[in-house]
Structure 1
Amino acid sequence: MSLLSLHSVTKTVPLPDAPPLTILHGVDLEISSGDRLSIVGRSGSGKSTLLNLMGLLDSPSTGSITFDGRPAEKFSSAERDRVRGREIGFIFQQFNLLQGRTARENVMTPLLYATGKQFWNRSTLAGEMLERVGLGHRVDAMPTMLSGGEQQRVAIARSLVRGPRVILADEPTGALDVETGASVMALLDEVALSTGAALVTITHDPAIADLASRHLLLDHGRLSTVRDDGRPSELVAVSRRLPHAAGVHAVPAASGAVPDEDEELSA
């Protein structure tokens, strides 16, 4: 059984003095535990909107989303919050660290909403996760004292500290140089593999896409699968030849959603 499923999902938003705008068109997607999936698409193709839906940060206009066999629309607000906080890990291009907190305190943040042993052992668990990403010696460092690669490692540790079953990474190496980005992505893939979590990466980088076992293209809100013998580098090359999507409006984000500042809407 799939862990996360999207069935005939569309996302449409109203516009002032204009017909409604459809961002996603009939998206079908099945994600199982341990999957390695890359999604490539030009700016305006709907990638961030799709990520928000997969992360239960927003709801589809039509179609359905299921998590662990349960329809997401039937989740209570508390259940949706629990799934987002416990079962789904988010990693973004911007590290979004709390500047007034140490590396350990940043990683502890999700555990403040945990219960039982995870809550009471939050400091130890945060330290162990930082050790796992190679920052055991930097637990007391403030974000301003860390390099870009180290800050992204802290962000990865924070997203993984509660043991999520799905990891959603939106251009996770976009703010890093090539060598550091490759190192960070290899680390993320290694940690996800060891826990059995599904890893979904949105990227323009063929080297990052190369780590995935499934490769999808999002074009004007329509999702298609690359052939099994297709190369990720070919997928990225195809996406670069696609025209930019029309439109200049920002996606109205649901509470907690993190929209891509560069993302435009597609008709």
Structure 2
Amino acid sequence: MSLLELREVTRTVIPQDQPALTILNGIDLTIEPGDHVSIVGRSGSGKSTLLNMLGLLDLPTSGEITFDDRPVRSYSSAARDRLRGAGIGFVFQQFNLLPGRTALENVTMPLLYSSGRTFWRRKKIAAEMLELVGLEHRLSSLPDRLSGGEQQRVAIARSLVRGPRLILADEPTGALDLDTGQSVMELIDEVATRTGAAQVTITHDPTIARRARRHFRLDRGVLTAVDDPSLEPLTRRDRREMAPADDDPAVLAARGFGADPTEDAALERGDA
């Protein structure tokens, strides 16, 4: 049984006073439990729109999306929100940490929507997740006292604290330097392997994409499998040699675009 499947998914938007634009065109993609997929595409190719589909944030204009072989359209909006909250973890380029909250409080936030024993044990669960990402000594630190790599680790802990079955990483290293980016990807890979979660990484960086087992390219809304030797999966030796020695770099200026599909469309037309 597949975890998530997109069949002939199309997404069309109608900007004000302009003709309809097809952002995604006939997307077919199957994600199995424990899978690791990378999707490479330039800015404006429809990556943000596809992320919205994979994350059950938007429904397709046509085609079908199933989660655990059940059509997503059969869920109410509230049920879809609950499914997303419990089953999908998002790791973004921007850390999106609450500035006035400690690392522990930031990671605890998603557990406030839990119930029963998980709710009452939320601080302990959050602390254990921060320990898993190597920040057990930073529980009381505010975001502005953390390095870029540490902030991303907090963001990863927050996205995974509810034990999602699918991790969606959207340009997760875009605001980090090369060494810290590799360290963060090692961490996401390790956590996904330990928890059995499937992982989809959306990126423009072939080096990051190469870490996955299956590779795709998104170009003008069309998704195709990549048969490119430069994107062959890394060997264990490759991973060891690429592992960074230092995890305290300066943060580069955050890059990227919003997740609004009309913004992707504007970029594709060259209006932005």
Same-fold status (TM-score > 0.5): yes
Identity percentage of aligned residues: 63
Distance 1:66 1:185 in 2: 27
Contact kept? 1:10, 1:61, Cα under 8 Å: yes
CA distance in 2 between partners of 1:114 and 1:52 (Å): 23
The equivalent residue for 1:133 is 133
User: How many residue pairs get matched?
Assistant: 247
Alpha-carbon spacing, 1:141–1:262, altered in 2? closer, same or farther (3 Å)? farther
Paired residue type of 1:125: I
Which amino acid counterpart does residue 133 of structure 2 have in structure 1?
A: V
Partner of 1:212: 212
SS in 2 for 1:18: coil
Contact 2:21 2:265 in 1 (8 A): no
Aligned to 2:165: 165
Comparing 103-112 and 9-18, the one that deviates more: 9-18
Q: What residue in structure 2 maps to residue 99 of structure 1?
A: 99
List gaps (5 residues or longer) in structure 1.
234-248, 254-258
Deviation, structure 1 residue 226: 1.3
Distance 2:84 2:225 in 1: 26
Partner of 2:196: 196
Which aligned pairs between 1:6-21 and structure 2 lie closer than 5 A?
6-21=6-21
Q: Secondary structure at the match of 2:158?
A: helix
Distance 1:152 1:262, change over 3 A: farther
Counterpart Cα distance in 2 of 1:5 and 1:121: 34
Contact in 2 for aligned 1:55/1:168 (Cα 8 Å):
yes
Shift of 1:76: 1.4
Residue aligning to 2:246: none
Q: Which runs of 5+ in 2 are unaligned?
A: 233-256
Contact 2:46 2:264 in 1 (8 A): no
Matched-pair contact (CA < 8 Å) for 1:173–1:184: yes
Q: How far, CA to CA, are the matches of 1:214 and 1:40 in structure 2?
A: 11
> C-alpha separation between the residues in 2 aligned to 1:155 and 1:95?
6
TM-score computed with the length of structure 2 as normaliser: 0.86
Deviation at 1:251, TM superposition (A): 6.7
Deviation at 1:262, TM superposition (A): 11
Q: Does residue 1:82 correspond to 2:82, yes or no?
A: yes
Indicate how the Cα distance of structure 1 residues 260 and 111 shifts in structure 2: closer, same or farther if over 3 A, else same: farther
Paired residues of 2:209 and 2:231 also in contact (CA < 8 A): yes
- TM (norm. structure 1) is 0.87
CA distance in 1, matches of 2:103, 2:231: 34
Q: 2:267 aligns with which of 258, 264, 267?
A: 264
Q: Which residue of 2 aligns with 1:239?
A: none
Question: C-alpha separation between the residues in 1 aligned to 2:69 and 2:140?
Answer: 41
Letter in 1 for 2:229: G
- CA deviations on 1:233-266 (whole Å, 9 max, x unpaired) are 8xxxxxxxxxxxxxxx98746xxxxx98898246
**Residue 41 and residue 200 in structure 1: after superposition, are their counterparts in 2 closer, same or farther (change >3 A)?**
same
Q: Deviations over 1:92-136 (max 9, x none)?
A: 000000001000000001101011111110000000000000000
1:230 aligns with 2:233: no
Go from structure 1 to structure 2 and tell me whether the alpha carbon gap of 1:107 and 1:68 turns closer, same or farther (over 3 Å shift). Answer: same
Q: Provide runs of 4+ in structure 1 moved above 3 Å.
A: 249-253, 259-263
Q: In 2 relative to 1, CA 119–74 (structure 1 residues): closer, same or farther, beyond 3 Å? A: same
Change (3 A) 1:65 1:262: closer
1:187 matched to 2:187? yes
Cα distance per residue 1:3-23 (max 9 Å; x no partner)? 000010000011222211110
Note if contact 1:221-1:266 (Cα within 8 Å) is conserved in structure 2: no
* 2:267 partner letter: E
Offset from partner CA, 1:32-86 (integer Å, 9 cap, x none): 1111110001111000000011101111000010001110001012211111101
Q: CA RMSD in A?
A: 2.2
* More divergent stretch after superposition (138-147 vs 204-213): 204-213
- Matched-pair contact (CA < 8 Å) for 2:23–2:264: no
